[in-house]
């Protein structure tokens, strides 16, 4: 029995043209037993940064509060919102502080970072449970369906997708991956972050 | 003088020979209305080492039957050898090739015969049925089998199968108003899905890569319909005016 697979659940993030998307299933389980079909594991950090926390459910709650506390402290001290790159390093160092007794979470982050010219640049990242950062240029995955997500995303993703096309790509990737994973599924949620709005949609998927 | 290790002699020790290994790689088959495509990569590995970059996993059985074997390579090669032997005996006895559904049942009995010392392989049988339809049969190591429209097996099964669910079965896709999803795709589409599946698996799985062999079985009377000039295509058909069999070879990344 792996602690990482105790509650199930998966998260994926993708880069598009001037936009990013992050999506997750909604299952909370206790091994094979389903407990909830409305378990949120993606949280807003700022208006432009979202974080997904797949892994042990008790640590989802703990880490969410911990990140909220640390982001608030940053905002007060710096008198500005945290940038996604900075947040990724905050996540990384928080997890590494627990190197020898880790939180059983592999966070996935997605956001738009400010450029010096005043524009926005898509940003995604993921870490393992001890905070090793992965800044991918295309997509990142984590959770019990990660192998399936890798396979489908590698086949469906292409560069410079517009927001609506990115939504379709990430949705299809997630839905088809979790349908082949017993520990993920039971509904899904997708967030697409663009420079002037965030599109959040709950998907209708297989409930078995 | 070497002192005997009294500690190790004090209590019994067990030594065991493990007759199985896992040799990586992935296989895949898709059935069309009047054709069948059976593919496999050619990398053979053990642990993190590559034993060879060209070890075929997909084999011609007859002009209308192709068998792909994945798992423990030694068992796989032996199994294919035995199946071919049985098919030869059948040919001598009945003066014709064994029909595909009969080969499928034969494979089941051959696998189940070794129920308590199994061939450590997943089999996918592809080809043309007696009624001319394309068929895919997939097996577990002890002979449980099923006819399907598509199946992936092996190291990258978990990467490829959900992609196939989406692209072949159109899972999670709604057909446009007043239309329906096709139950069988054209050969050209199937081939590009197969190639995409393997390039994706190669990208993300260390045990997949090096080369790709795609077998194409065509129903009696069907032609390649303008795909004759496709790169790296070779005809393997033995008998005339029957089903036709082709193989197509592609390179995959070697890292």
How would you write chain A as a 3-class SS string?
Answer: CCHHHCCCCEEEEEECCCEEEEEEECCEEECCEEEECCCCCEEECCCCEEEECCECHHHHHHHHHHHHHHHHHHHHHHCCCCCHHHHHHHHHHHHHCCCCCCCCECCEEEEEEECCCCCEEEEEEEECCCCCEECCCCEEEEECCHHHHHHHHHHHCCCCCCHHHHHHHHHHHHHHHHCCCCCCCCCEEEEEEECCCEEEEEECCCCC
Smallest CA–CA distance, residue B104 to chain A, in Å, is 26
Angle at B102 between CA B100 and CA B107, to 5 degrees: 95
Contact B167/A148, CB-based, under 8 Å?
no
ipTM of the complex, rounded to two decimals: 0.97
Contact A176/B159, CB-based, under 8 Å?
no
Contact B172/A154, CB-based, under 8 Å?
no
Task: Dump pLDDT digits (tens) for B201-216.
Answer: 999 999 999 999 999 9
Which chain A residues touch B161 with a CB distance below 8 Å?
A: 148, 151, 180
Which chain A residues touch B163 with a CB distance below 8 Å?
A: 151-152, 155-156, 176
Task: Dump pLDDT digits (tens) for A49-108.
Answer: 999 999 999 999 999 999 999 999 999 999 999 999 999 999 999 999 999 999 999 999
Smallest CA–CA distance, residue B166 to chain A, in Å, is 6
- CA of A145: which chain B residue's CA is closest? B158
How is B23-74 classified by DSSP, letter by letter?
---EEEEEE-SSEEEEEEE--EEETTEEEES----EEEEETTEEEEEEE-HH
Identify the contact set of chain B against chain A, taking CB-CB distances under 8 A.
Answer: 156, 158-163, 165-167, 171-173, 196-197, 200-201, 203-204
Which chain A residues touch B197 with a CB distance below 8 Å?
A: 155
Task: Dump pLDDT digits (tens) for B31-62.
Answer: 999 999 999 999 999 999 999 999 999 999 99
Please list the pLDDT of chain B residue by residue as tens digits (255 residues).
556 666 667 889 999 999 999 999 999 999 999 999 999 999 999 999 999 999 999 999 999 999 999 999 999 999 999 999 999 999 999 999 999 999 999 999 999 999 999 999 999 999 999 999 999 999 999 999 999 999 999 999 999 999 999 999 999 999 999 999 999 999 999 999 999 999 999 999 999 999 999 999 999 999 988 888 889 899 999 999 899 999 999 999 999
Mutation for B interface: A23, A141, A155, most B CBs within 10 A:
A155
- CA of B197: which chain A residue's CA is closest? A155
Smallest CA–CA distance, residue B251 to chain A, in Å, is 18
Task: Please indicate, yes or no, whether the overall pTM of this predicted structure exceeds 0.90.
Answer: yes
Contact B160/A150, CB-based, under 8 Å?
no
């Amino acid at each position: 029995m792996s602690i990482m697979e105790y509650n199930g659940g998966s998260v994926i993030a993708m880069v598009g043209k001037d936009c990013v998307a992050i999506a997750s299933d909604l299952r909370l389980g206790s091994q094979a037993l389903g407990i909830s079909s409305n378990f949120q594991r993606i949280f807003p950090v700022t208006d432009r940064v979202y974080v997904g926390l797949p892994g042990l459910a008790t640590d989802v709650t703990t880490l969410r509060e911990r990140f909220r506390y640390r982001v608030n402290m940053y905002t007060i001290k710096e008198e500005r919102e945290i940038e996604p790159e900075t947040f990724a390093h905050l996540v990384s160092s928080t997890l590494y502080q627990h190197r020898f007794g880790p939180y059983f979470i592999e966070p996935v982050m997605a956001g738009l970072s400010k450029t010096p010219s005043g524009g926005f640049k898509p940003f995604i990242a993921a870490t393992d449970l001890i905070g090793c950062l992965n800044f991918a240029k295309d997509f990142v995955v984590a959770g019990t369906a990660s192998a399936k997500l890798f396979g489908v995303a590698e086949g469906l993703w292409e560069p410079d997708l517009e927001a609506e096309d990115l939504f379709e790509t990430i949705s299809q990737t997630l839905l088809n991956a979790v349908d082949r994973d017993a520990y993920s599924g039971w509904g899904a949620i997708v967030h697409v972050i663009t420079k002037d709005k965030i599109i959040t949609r709950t998907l209708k998927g297989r409930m078995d | 003088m070497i002192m005997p290790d009294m500690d190790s002699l004090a209590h019994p020790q067990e030594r065991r020979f493990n007759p199985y290994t896992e040799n990586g790689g992935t296989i895949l088959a898709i059935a069309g209305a009047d054709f069948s495509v059976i593919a496999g990569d050619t990398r053979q590995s053990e642990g993190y080492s590559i034993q060879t970059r060209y070890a075929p996993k997909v084999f011609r059985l007859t002009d209308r039957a192709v068998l792909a074997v994945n798992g423990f390579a030694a068992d796989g090669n032996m199994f294919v050898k035995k199946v071919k032997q049985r098919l030869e005996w059948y040919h001598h006895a009945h003066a014709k090739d064994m029909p595909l559904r009969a080969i499928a049942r034969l494979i089941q009995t051959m696998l189940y015969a070794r129920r308590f010392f199994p061939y450590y392989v997943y089999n996918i049988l592809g080809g043309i049925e007696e009624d001319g339809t394309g068929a895919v049969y997939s097996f577990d190591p002890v002979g449980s089998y099923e006819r399907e429209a598509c199946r992936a097996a092996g190291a990258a099964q978990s990467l490829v199968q959900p992609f196939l669910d989406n692209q072949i079965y159109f899972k999670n896709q709604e057909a446009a108003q007043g239309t329906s999803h096709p139950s069988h795709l054209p050969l050209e589409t199937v081939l590009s899905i197969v190639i995409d599946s393997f390039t994706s698996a190669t990208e993300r799985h260390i045990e997949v890569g090096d080369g790709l062999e795609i077998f194409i079985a065509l129903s009696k009377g069907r032609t390649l319909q303008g795909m004759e000039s496709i790169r790296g295509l070779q005809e393997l058909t033995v008998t005339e005016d029957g089903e036709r069999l082709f193989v197509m070879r592609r390179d995959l990344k070697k890292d």
